[in-house]
Amino acid sequence: MTYHHGDLRRTLLAETASAIAEDGVAKLSMRALAKRAGVSNAAPTYHFGDKSGLLTALAAEGYDRLAEAMSGVDEGGGLVDRGVAYVEFALACPSHFTVMFQPRLLHDDDAELTAARQRAWAALSVGVVKTRSGPDSDFGVAAWSLVHGYATLVLSGAVAPEDALRQARIVAGHLGEGAGKGPGKSD
């Protein structure tokens, strides 16, 4: 095949996300991806090495998009707004979201993946600092767990997607209840 792609890497990642949305990550193959993109069977391997390399690149792209979504919250936006942005990202990019949190599928030592994860954590941490009046990694993990769990419930169909972002704001709003309480403090 002699098709020309201006940015084949970008095309392959977009086709990967589309294929995962249609058939799931387990059915993804490099050969089928090449066919979808209209390129030689060797093209995906040339760009990503193997399926894990391809999924690692998709996960890194996902973490970057997530960091951008949470960082795009208004300057005054705190943890609740970042939590809603997290859920909004998950609903807009379900294939990325699925792959990002399956480390067994990824090259976990990949430098781009590590850097993208750090950018996403830093974007979430800004909201934690605003809510807790300082860094608090335990509260950060709790906040992440809450919005991640809600997003996962919506994506799996366990929670109806109608009005999901309004409900996400209510769910994330519970994070504000911990404002000012440090470890070991109670009402």
% helix / strand / coil in the chain, to the nearest 5?
A: 75, 0, 25
Query: Helix (H, G, I), strand (E, B), or coil: what is residue 72?
Result: coil
pTM of structure: 0.87
- pLDDT for 71-121, tens place per residue? 988 766 788 899 999 999 999 999 999 999 999 999 999 999 999 999 999
Whole-number Å distance between alpha carbons of 128 and 77: 11
